[in-house]
Every structure is written in C-alpha cells, then in structure tokens.
Amino acid sequence: MIYLTLITKRIFLALLTLLIVSAILYGLLEILPGDVATRILGRDANEENLAILRERAGLNIPPVQRYFFWLFNIMRGDLGYSLISTRPLTEILAPKIFNTLILSTCAFLLYLPLTFITALVQASNKDKKIDNILSAITLIILSMPDFIIGTILLIVFVVIFPLLPAISLVNESSTLGEWIMALIMPSVTLALVMFVYGVRMLRDNLIEVLNAEYVLMAGLKGLPRYRVLIKHALPNAIVPTLNVTALNLGFLIGGVVVVEQICSFPGFGRLLIEAIKNKDLPVVEATILVAAGFYISANLIADVISILLNPKLRKT
C-alpha cells in the first residue's frame, strides 16, 4: 500500500516528539536550575542530608549520563523509584492510570453523544434561534474554568440535593456501587468541559459537511431529510469528529488533573499534583512522560484513521 510509508513516517515523527518531550522534561527538571538536592530539601537543609539525598537519587553522576540511564531504564520498563515512598514507580503508577482511564472512558462516553447530537442540531438549524441559544450556553460554560464547573456541580449535587458523595475515594476493595457513585461527579464535569470545546469545533465542521454539494444533491434528488443526514452526511462527519476529539484530548488530560483534585479521585492527575507539591521528581517525570505519550499516541491514531478513511490525505 502506498500510504504505508506515510503512516510509518507519522509513527516515527511521533516517537521523535516523545523523545524530545523526555529531553525537555529531564532538562528542565534536573539539568537547568542549579542544585536539585537543594530544591527538593529546601534552602535550609543541612549539608549531610543533601549528601545523602544526592547519593540516593544518583545525582552524583553527570546529568547527560543520567538522562541516558533514565531513558534506557524506561525502555526496559523500569520507571525508577519514588523519592518519597521508595516504591517502584510502575507499582505506584499502574493503579492510578487505571483509575484515570476508567474515569476518562466514562467521561468520553458521556461526551461523545452529547457533543455530536448538539453539534448536529446546531449545524442543521444554523443561525436559527436554537443555534444561538445553544451557542450562548456553550460560551458561558466555556468561560467557566473547569474547577468552577466542578465546584458548582459539587454545590448542586451535594449541598442542594444531597445525592452524591462529596469525595470520590475508591480503591480496589470498594463495591461496584461505590465506584459508580464516585465516578458520576468527575465524569460529568469532565464530559461538560470537553463538550463545550468539542461542540464549538464540531459545529463548524458539520456546517461545512452539510453545505457540501453532495448533500444538496441528495436533497434535490428527493431523499427525505433524515436519509440525507444518515446516509450521506454522517459518514463524512466522522473524520472531523475524530479530529476534534483528538484535539480535545489535550483538554481531557489537563481537565483530569483539576477534576481529580476537586473530587479527590485517586487517579493520575492527583498523583501528579501531589508529586509536584512534594517535589518528588521521578514521579513527576514519569507521569508527565506518560501523559504526553498518551496525547501523542491519541493524535497519532486519529491521524492514521483519518488517512485510512480519507484518500485525499494520502498525497502529502
């Protein structure tokens, strides 16, 4: 297949980007600003503690060498050890990533139909009253930062109608019921945040699709409107939806951090915040790398699917 080279090139570029991310991460955190040990322990740490830390964290090796050791270890699957709890990072990260994945999937499942239907309604009734009302509502929610949306939802569903628990602490031993209760708040918040960005982009894309000539043609042929929508417009709406979703993933990962903090959901985002507060460098590096990795791979998958679906993209 001709476009196989194109796909391989994309994969290669993605890996390269990830590599650069790791270099930037490591460079920022370990190499550039002065003494790492002092930063972790604070300005008033005594010399002995600093020396112990340097030894333990392996900071005595020259930085560039350290970077390559780190990379090498990652490729073998060893992400290092947390400075605070000295447990291997893979052990710490795995369950949190799992939790966050469940959360993201729930949010995603909520977000997808909501966005699609709303954007479709807006696109089909462009500039009519319903479109403007929906646009206004979207703009207002868009302007509210995710933590405010989360906090408002918290107020509504915990204070006013005491339906849901205020904290979403779950672990392996919680029942399915507890899991579901805990997941509702964060996933709804996340879904809303993604929804407002997605629906704006999707609306414009869908308007383009609906105004295409083949849609007009199908309508002229006498096909009923819903048939035109489903058989002709919809398949062509998949690609823009995919692109919009891939772009939204950036907001998803960012939003996850805030939402998990609000609801105390034991996931990836909260882990990152805790690590930054505790200045637990290995954890910070590993988590950001994983986050960037997710984002890059998601974009890659979206790109590849678009290439496979749309022959016109195969030329580049």
Partner 1 sequence: MFKIGFVILSIHLLIAVTGPFWAPFHYAQMGAGKPLLGMNWINFFGTDHLGRDVFSRVVHGSYMVISLSIFGTMIGLVIGSFTGLLSAYIGGWVDEFVQRFNEALISIPFLVLGLLAILVAGPKLSGEPILMALAVALVYAPRISRISRSAALDIIMSDYVIVARLRGESALSIIWREVLPNISGTMLVEFAIRAGFAPILIGSFGFLGFGIRPPFPEWGSMINDYRPFIFISPITVIGPALALSSLVVSLNLFTEGLARLLGTSRKEIK
83 touches 57 (CB < 8 A): yes
Candidates 84, 108, 131, 151; binder of partner 1 (CB under 8 A) is 151
Contact between 303 and partner 1 by CB under 8 A: the answer reads no
If we measure between CA atoms, which residue out of 2, 1, 6 comes closest to residue 303?
A: 6
Paired strand residues for 88: 81
32: number of Cβ within 10 Å: 10
Q: Evaluate the CA torsion angle 222, 226, 227, 229 in order and state its sign.
A: positive
Contact between 263 and partner 1 by CB under 8 A: the answer reads no
Label residue 136 exposed, middle or buried (CB < 10 Å: 0-12, 13-18, 19+).
exposed
Candidates 221, 277, 312, 315; binder of partner 1 (CB under 8 A) is 277
269 touches 258 (CB < 8 A): yes
Q: Which helix (H) or strand (E) holds 215?
A: helix 213-220
Candidates 279, 304, 305, 313; binder of partner 1 (CB under 8 A) is 279
Chain positions 20 to 79 lying near partner 1, rule: CB under 8 A, are: 20-21, 24-25, 28-29, 32-34, 39, 42-43
Cβ of residue 292: shortest distance to partner 1, in angstroms?
Answer: 4
Cβ of residue 313: shortest distance to partner 1, in angstroms?
Answer: 18
Burial 159-178 (b: 16+ CB within 10 A, else e): eeeeebeeebebeeeeeeee
How distant is the alpha carbon of residue 246 from its chain centre? 9
* Interface pattern 188-227 for partner 1 (x via CB under 8 A): ---------x--xx--x-----------------------
In this structure, which amino acid lies at residue 305?
A: I
Task: Give the tokens for residue 53.
Answer: 């830390």
Chain positions 231 to 260 lying near partner 1, rule: CB under 8 A, are: 247, 250-251, 253-254, 257-258
Q: Which is nearer to partner 1, 229 or 289 (CB)?
A: 289
Q: Which is nearer to partner 1, 228 or 257 (CB)?
A: 257
Cβ of residue 142: shortest distance to partner 1, in angstroms?
Answer: 7
| Site residues (vs partner 1, CB under 8 A) | 13, 16-18, 20-21, 24-25, 28-29, 32-34, 39, 42-43, 139-140, 142-148, 151-152, 154-155, 159, 197, 200-201, 204, 247, 250-251, 253-254, 257-258, 261, 272-273, 276-277, 279, 284, 288, 291-292, 295-296, 299
